[in-house]
C-alpha cells in the first residue's frame, strides 16, 4: 500500500530489484570462473558444484561463498600472475626475422 501512495518508493524498489539481479548475475559469473579455475578440485567436484549452482542458484551461490569463498581471491591472484608471466615472457622476445620470399624466374620482368 505504501508503494501506491508514494510512486517514488516504487521506483526505488524497482531499481533495488534490478541492481540485486545484476549483482547476483555477476556473482554467478565469478563463481563459475572460480569453479573452473580451481586446481584443487577434481572434475567430479566441479561438475557437482556447477549442477548445484544451476539447480538451486541463490542457495548454491550462498553455500559456495561460505564454503570456498575465502580462497577465491587467492585463486584469482594466482591466475592473474600466471597470465602476467605468460604475457611478459612472450612480449619480451625479439621479433622473428622476416622469411625470404622465393623468387621464381617466370615472375621477373
Length of the chain: 109
Residue pLDDT, tens place only, 46-97 = 999 999 999 998 899 999 989 888 888 888 888 888 888 887 777 666 666 7
Assign 38 a pLDDT band (cuts: 50, 70, 90): confident
Q: How far apart are CA 57 and CA 51, in angstroms?
A: 9
What's the pLDDT at 69?
Answer: 81
What's the pLDDT at 101?
Answer: 72
Amino acid at each position: 500500500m505504501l508503494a501506491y501512495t508514494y510512486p517514488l518508493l516504487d521506483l526505488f524498489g524497482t531499481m533495488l530489484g534490478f541492481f540485486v539481479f545484476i549483482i547476483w548475475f555477476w556473482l554467478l559469473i565469478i563463481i563459475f570462473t572460480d569453479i573452473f579455475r580451481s586446481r584443487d578440485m577434481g572434475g567430479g567436484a566441479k561438475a557437482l558444484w556447477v549442477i548445484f549452482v544451476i539447480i538451486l542458484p541463490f542457495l548454491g551461490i550462498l553455500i559456495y561463498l561460505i564454503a570456498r569463498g575465502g580462497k577465491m581471491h587467492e585463486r584469482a591472484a594466482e591466475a592473474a600472475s600466471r597470465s602476467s608471466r605468460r604475457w611478459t615472457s612472450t612480449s619480451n622476445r625479439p621479433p622473428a626475422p622476416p622469411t625470404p620470399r622465393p623468387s621464381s624466374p617466370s615472375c621477373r620482368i
